[in-house]
Amino acid sequence: MSERFRILIAKPGLDGHDRGAKVIARALRDAGMEVIYAGLRQTPEMIVEAALQEDVDGVGLSILSGAHMTLIPRVVHGLREAGLEHVKLFVGGIIPDEDVPALEALGVSGIFGPGASTEVITEFVRQRLAGS
């Protein structure tokens, strides 16, 4: 069976811009994935619940608020607690270089800055979901 990836795209935090998240969601859809778009102001608990109900292979978070160091650990722990440690986590947004090692240590599979092209992100996500 050809693999049909399901990925959840969510925008945690309180800031109201989801343009970036939508662009990535569309790119992933155009790459043949089933994208569950959860939209704005998602709490870590909501993200974990949606990932579980939708049985996704990956979760992509768009974080511009600077709250990544509080939000991402909560999502990681929530996924783990729900038995979803296999779900790959991707983060896009403004993430300072010095935070990257800590996020990678948490098990985040990919971190993309505002300059990353959708082609690069899509290909990276596809390969990670395929398990390479």
Residues that bind other proteins (CB under 8 A): 1, 4, 25-26, 28-43, 45-46, 49-50, 52-55, 82-84
CB nearer to other proteins: pick between 83 and 101: 83
Contacts of 76 (CB under 8 A, 6+ apart): 89, 106, 107, 108
Contacts of 52 (CB under 8 A, 6+ apart): 82, 84
CB of residue 32 to other proteins, shortest distance in Å = 4
CB nearer to other proteins: pick between 55 and 104: 55
CB of residue 81 to other proteins, shortest distance in Å = 11
Closest among 78, 84, 131, 83 to 109, alpha carbons compared: 131
CB nearer to other proteins: pick between 31 and 100: 31
Strand partners, 128: none
CB of residue 100 to other proteins, shortest distance in Å = 29
CB nearer to other proteins: pick between 26 and 69: 26
First to last CA, the chain: 18
